[in-house]
Amino acid sequence: MAVMSQASALELRGVSMQFGGVQAIKKVGFQVREGELFALIGPNGAGKSTLFNCINGIYKPTEGSIFFRGRDITAFSPFKIAHMGIARTFQNIALFHRMSVLDNLLLGRNPVLGAGVLRGGLFFGRALREELEAREAIEKIIDFLEIERFRKQIVGSLPFGIQRRIELGRALAMKPKVLLLDEPVSGMNSEEREDMARFILDIKEELGTTVVLIDHDMGVVMDIADRIVVLNFGIKIAEGTPEAIAADRHVIQAYLGEEEGAP
């Protein structure tokens, strides 16, 4: 079992993101510890996915800094951030639907390959070793996510829940140190949600990967998260354990719309 460290895997300091006159995120800060399963929750439009886009380099914050294992990555490109070890899944599945499961997973390996174009084209030396290592790693992911019987099938022909697993597998193929999961159980039935929650816990416990999770399924979040940050209208309103968050008055107001001073 992975032991959670007090060292910081990811840290945000006063991160703001503005689009014209719209303030999507305002001075958000928190730390994610190594080996932690950390959740980011909030009502629709709270700024959760925008924050993920800042972390993995799609957006450049208008203010503040983002650190990965103590290194400032605020201005880095998405490719460089991925190469350093931050992988991500998306709220809307972003797979290549006309390709096989195996090919989709192999594509996820690209950011960690080091052989140049010439070696890759001629397929010798380092490129050959990397190809063999990549295929071995992908086979382990296929076993881990229990998708062996789908490995040669075209992704677009598969059920939604299996596609979610494949997208998770493609992110794992990058050998991430930090894994960002954007609504991984969205659109699933109860059995599929339970399976995905189990896989996420196994990623933390068995692989030792730090996980940052966004989801609206409060049952899943409360069951598996070590700590939670709550956003509302782009502002952090609470941070703590699942038990503390469930009892927090500001969180209850944000989700249920209760008025201040209500009994």
CATH code of the domain containing 76: 3.40.50.300
Local confidence band at 180 (pLDDT 50, 70, 90 cut-offs): very high
How many domains is the chain partitioned into structurally?
Answer: 1
| pLDDT in the model for residue 133 | 85
Local confidence band at 1 (pLDDT 50, 70, 90 cut-offs): very low
Specify the pTM.
Answer: 0.87
Q: Show Cβ contacts of residue 139 under 8 Å, excluding neighbours closer than 6 positions.
A: none
Q: Confirm whether 15 is domain-assigned.
A: yes
DSSP labels for 73-139?
-TT--HHHHHHHTEEE--SS----TTSBHHHHHHHTTGGG----HHHHHHT-THHHHHHHHHHHHHH
Percent helix, strand and coil across the chain, each to the nearest 5: 40, 25, 35
Q: Does residue 56 sit in helix, strand or coil?
A: coil
Q: Confirm whether 115 is domain-assigned.
A: no
Task: Say yes or no to pLDDT of 108 above 90.
Answer: no
pLDDT tens digits for 225-242? 999 999 999 999 999 999
Q: Confirm whether 198 is domain-assigned.
A: yes
Indicate the average pLDDT of the chain: 88
Local confidence band at 4 (pLDDT 50, 70, 90 cut-offs): very low
| pLDDT in the model for residue 261 | 47
CA-based max dimension of the chain: 72
Mean pLDDT on 24-35: 97
**Residue range(s) defining the domain that contains residue 62:** 8-85+176-256
| pLDDT in the model for residue 92 | 81
Exposed e or buried b per residue across 47-83, where buried means at least 16 C-beta atoms within 10 angstroms of its C-beta? bbbbbbbbbbbebebeebebbbbeeebbebeeeebbb
Task: Say yes or no to pLDDT of 188 above 80.
Answer: yes
Q: Does residue 188 sit in helix, strand or coil?
A: coil
Question: Which residue's entry shows tokens 């503005």?
Answer: 18
Q: Confirm whether 109 is domain-assigned.
A: no
Mean pLDDT on 42-62: 94
Q: Confirm whether 26 is domain-assigned.
A: yes
Local confidence band at 107 (pLDDT 50, 70, 90 cut-offs): confident
Question: Which residue's entry shows tokens 């140190």?
Answer: 177
Q: Confirm whether 157 is domain-assigned.
A: no
At 58, which amino acid appears? I
Q: Confirm whether 121 is domain-assigned.
A: no
Q: From CA 195, how far away is CA 186, in angstroms rounded?
A: 13
| pLDDT in the model for residue 115 | 45
| pLDDT in the model for residue 168 | 96
- Which residues are registered as beta bridge partners of 16? 63
Q: Confirm whether 90 is domain-assigned.
A: no
Of 160 and 118, more confident: 160
Strands 178-182, 227-232: pairing kind? unpaired
Torsion 17-23-24-29 (CA) sign: positive
